Amino acid sequence: MILFIPAWQHLQRGLETDDLIGQIRSFMSSKIDYQVLISDYIPHLRYFLHRHGLLECHYHNVFDELQGFLSAEQASINLQDLNFPVGSTFSYTPFHILVHFEDQLIGQVCFGQGGESLVISEVKHFSERYLTKIEIYDDRGFISSCKIFEENKLKYTDYLDSNGDWIIREFEKDGSCKVNSENTRGLHDKSYTSFSDIKFELMEKHLLKIITSKCALIISVTNDNISQISSSFFLSQMTLSFFKERYTFSEKKDCFLVKAIEGAQAVLSDRPKIVEKFQRESHKIYLISPYDSRFKLSLTQEMKEEVVYVDLREMKQEEWESIVEALVLSLLAILSIEKEESREFQVILRIGDGFSQSCLLKIIENYFTENFPNEMTILAQIEEEITDENGLTGQYLAEVEQKVQVIFQIWKSFIVKEIKTEEEVFKLIGKTRIIVDMGNQPDLFTQIAGISAGIPQINRIPSEYIKHQENGLILPEIDGLSEAVIYYLENLSEWQRARAHSVQQIKRYSGIELQKKILRITKRGQYENKD
């Protein structure tokens, strides 16, 4: 049996994807025995699994076992069950319900994640407008944990059993945890340095029940669990999975990392940094795409607008203006050709969590204002003329119409987006003409999604996925980006050639091939073919 032990705590807010989701999906339709061991506390687990296409996977949740929820069924809950005082009034908004009593705010009922469902996710309690408590609801309809506040500051979180009694109290100040001596639920110690220690104890307790010498474990490595992994009883059966920046290298943790890698059966990574750092163990380290390709060619040839998808998440903000300039110049060159003026474009700029959308929009606005001052002035006057009869004359408009329209079309084609889920990425890429990712570490998920859709990609850094002048272009500098965009937007034969090459690659990164690679590594510790 293969056991997958993911780290999904960081994914609960709908951000991104991770390394084990694609691997688990590749095993779901097979006859191979597997289990997903969930050691994170995720009260909205079923919603999370559904969103990532994993609801039907074979999983065991250690916190369900600890809290006594393993056999819990969906419960119906309504406002009358929430113990607000008789006479409370309820004000409905799209995302939550505000509760007032005697003209004072005493509660806020929140639904789903970001208001995405009608299932109650948490209930906030207020006293004299101070937040005093947040009750966290399991997506099956019962209270799972409770956050206690003093003067609007979180003091501790209680994790509850099925009777509503607390088992673990996690203190916000230092992250330490205390166990209820009258309700230990089988926990070994009275107190723990961190919540991560409890998660690992629960995980290993379950492994002791089911593990055999023939079992293989694939575990996501994080900053929080590296010390426990390095001393795990099951380390020799573990394949350690490193993904993006989930684990950050530091001297403080290096002793644990060295011990873990030396003792593990194998190591998976989506980037070469770990191979460079551990040359002595390179025989057991495998660079592998954690994503499965899903063959669905983009519909770009059927779309009215030609979409250029630009990923800015791995780029420095000081480079944003250069990217904007290259994109503007490429579209200007195309639309200035008389026969091409009817073409329509959409440039989608993807930014990451924490980046300022308004900052990027300001960079775009400043670029147009500085480089096309006359056209932007005319556009501003045209907007005024809509409500002001003393504006520009129709004759003057006719003289400048074509040039102004081109600038206006390019100006309005720019859209800034923060995309959070892989399904959003697939949906967008399904109508994209070309992908641009000039970051120092191109996004692997985007690369595989682009290959699945047969879309040419322009990258700065070479990789095994994008081959220069085959399914994309490799540009070490931004200077050549404008010509590269024109290359694929204007040369249909080159675009189709890149598409054909991507189609040939799809099988290589399919779910079946991903599954085969995982089996080779976990069963025999090496690829039959490292390609």
Model confidence pLDDT, tens digit, residues 311-339: 999 898 889 999 999 999 999 999 988 66
Q: Where are the domains of the chain?
A: 2-68+197-287, 79-184, 300-509
**In this model, does residue 114 exceed pLDDT 70?**
no
Which residue would you say has higher pLDDT here, 13 or 442? 442
Q: How far apart are the first and last CA of the chain?
A: 25
Which stretch of DSSP H or E encloses residue 178?
strand 177-179
Pair of tokens at residue 391: 């504006």
Cβ(344)–Cβ(373) under 8 Å?
no
Q: Where are the beta strands (DSSP E) in 366-450?
A: 414-417, 432-437
Query: Is residue 382 a contact partner of residue 391, using CB atoms and an 8 Å limit?
Result: yes
Architecture label for domain 300-509: 3-Layer(aba) Sandwich (3.40)
Helix (H, G, I), strand (E, B) or coil at 20: helix
Residue 207's pLDDT is: 96
Whether residue 15 is predicted with pLDDT greater than 70 in this model: the reply is no
pLDDT of residue 530: 41
As a whole number, mean pLDDT of residues 65-83 equals: 87
Q: Pick from 216, 206, 218, 251: which is nearest to 5 by CA?
A: 218
Count each helix (H run) and each strand (E run) in the chain, helices first. 16, 23
pTM score? 0.76
Residues 6+ away with beta carbon under 8 Å from 261 = 240, 267, 278, 281, 284, 285
Query: How does pLDDT run across 471-481, given as a tens digit for each residue?
Result: 999 999 999 99
**What's the confidence (pLDDT) of residue 281?**
83
**H helix intervals, 345-472:** 357-371, 373-385, 394-413, 422-429, 444-453
Matching fold, domains 2-68+197-287 and 300-509 = yes
Q: What is the pLDDT of residue 525?
A: 37
pLDDT greater than 90 at residue 432: yes
CATH of the domain spanning 2-68+197-287, picked from 3.30.70.260, 3.40.50.2000, 3.40.50.620, 3.40.50.1370: 3.40.50.2000
Question: For 139-156, what is each residue's pLDDT tens digit?
Answer: 999 999 999 999 999 999
pLDDT in tens, 173-208: 999 999 999 999 999 999 999 999 999 999 999 999
Look at residue 290 in the predicted model and tell me its pLDDT. Answer: 66
Least confident piece of the model among 81-90, 362-371, 400-409, 448-457? 400-409
**pLDDT at position 528 over 70:** no
The answer to whether residue 382 scores a pLDDT higher than 80 is no
Instruction: Tell me 235's DSSP state.
Output: G
pLDDT at 153: 96
pLDDT band at 256 (very low <50, low <70, confident <90, very high): very high
The SS3 of residue 297 is: coil
φ/ψ of 486, rounded to 5, equals -60, -40
Three-state DSSP state, 429: helix
Phi, psi for 426 (deg, rounded to 5): -60, -40
Q: What are phi and psi of 287, to 5 degrees?
A: -80, 125
More confident residue, 496 or 379: 496
* CB-count burial class (<10 Å; 0-12, 13-18, 19+) for 510: middle
| Structure-block tokens of residue 325 | 């300039």
Question: How confident is residue 310, by pLDDT bands cut at 50, 70 and 90?
Answer: very high
Average pLDDT value for residue range 404-422:
89
Total residue count of the chain as it appears in this document: 531
Q: What is the mean pLDDT of residues 29-33?
A: 88
Residues in a beta bridge with 90: 99
Quick one: tokens of 507? 């099988």
Spatial neighbors of 79 by CB under 8 A, at least 6 apart, are 90, 97, 109
For the chain, the average pLDDT equals 87
Residue 369 pLDDT class (50, 70, 90 cuts): very high
Among residues 470, 464, 435, 468, the alpha carbon closest in space to that of 449 is found at 435
- pLDDT number for residue 84: 93
Say yes or no to pLDDT of 239 above 50.
Answer: yes
